[in-house]
Amino acid sequence: MSLLLAGGHHDPNLTVLANAAQTANVELLDMRLPASESPAFCWNLEESTPQFQSQQMNARQIKATGAFIRHDVFGGMTDPRPEVSARASGWYQTLMGWLLSDPSIRLFNRHISPAAMNKPAALMFAREAGLRIPPTWITNEPGKFANDSLDPLKLSSLKLDQMEHSQQEKMIAKPVLGGDYCYSLAEALAKTDLRNGVAAVPAIVQKRLAAPEIRIYVIGSSAFAFEVRSASLDYRVNQDAELILLPEVPQELSLLRKLMSRLGMDFGAADFKTDPDTGQLVFLELNTGPMFARFDQVSGGQICAAIIRELTVTN
């Protein structure tokens, strides 16, 4: 059994996974790249296996039972130069290209659909799979959805200046592309330039939901659920989340698996919040490459153990 790890050297998720692999006596092929090192790599497409040489690995053919790869976003956080991000993207595409071309290596989400990485499409497919989603608008025209019922079938034509602040606080806005936090609609509008009543780029606008917030990890045949407790609308802003491993995964798991099957996924984490009017869990989004280091710690190492098991253990 051998597990190849690829991505950034300072990615905490890969760090905990590497430690778990060593504890489990799984051979580790370490292709985590330090920011200061560009290792020697050569893949002759007439042959099946690339050659790789780094401080962690001597020159050798890369052979692995399974592989876990993450795009390195942490290098760009410490060094914002464009070439740092370009280097990370180049290595990710190179290694992912090889992994996708070798079906003998176990790899999560090998057959993933492009729709899985498109937030509006994923919401539509989630609803088709039977999951509840919040009333949602994809729009750059704020005045189109101002009404007390938040009913998409009763869109009003109120001007933006007619919207009450309290109404704006009942809704949230977040980027279609991701990469930023979730804000109340009032906060989002305060930082958005409008021309003739429209913003430059559409956003996802939704009914504001309530606690509890639940994250469900699906890792092959395994699944784990956590309650995420925070006083913040988006706990990433203040990093104030308390994580609690739930003894049972909510019943939404079966529908989530149906959605993931449709999207060609066998690894991911789905976020849910609660409808304050019904008390039911409502699907927010599906993360195709989620962070998991803190969740693994809270679970006592169960997340990493499941990843290693799925990628290395022969059935």
DSSP state letter for 34? P
How far, in Å, CA of 220 to CA of 223, rounded?
8
Range of weakest confidence among 24-33, 146-155, 264-273, 298-307: 146-155
The whole-number average pLDDT for the span 47-58 is 68
Closest CA to 285 of 262, 259, 306, 307: 259
How far, in Å, CA of 231 to CA of 102, rounded?
45
What letter represents residue 15's amino acid? T
How far, in Å, CA of 197 to CA of 161, rounded?
10
Closest CA to 271 of 202, 207, 211: 211
* Structure-model confidence comparison of residues 236 and 273, the more confident one: 273
- pLDDT above 60: residue 126: yes
Architecture per CATH, domain 114-132+209-312, reads as: 2-Layer Sandwich (3.30)
Residues 6 or more apart from 200 whose CB is under 8 A from it? 140, 193
How far, in Å, CA of 217 to CA of 55, rounded?
33
The structural domains of the chain, with segments of one domain joined by +, span 2-107, 114-132+209-312, 138-207
- Characterize 38-72 residue by residue with b for buried, 16 or more Cβ atoms within 10 angstroms of its Cβ, and e for exposed: eeebebeeeeeebebebebeeeeebebbbbbbbbb
- pLDDT above 70: residue 205: yes
66: which strand partners? 3, 106
The mean pLDDT value of the chain amounts to 86
How far, in Å, CA of 204 to CA of 225, rounded?
25
Interval 87-108: pLDDT, tens: 999 999 999 999 999 999 999 9
Identify the sign of the CA torsion 98, 104, 108, 109.
positive
- pLDDT above 70: residue 161: no
- pLDDT, position 169: 64
The whole-number average pLDDT for the span 179-196 is 80
Q: Confirm if 20 and 28 have CB atoms less than 8 A apart.
A: no
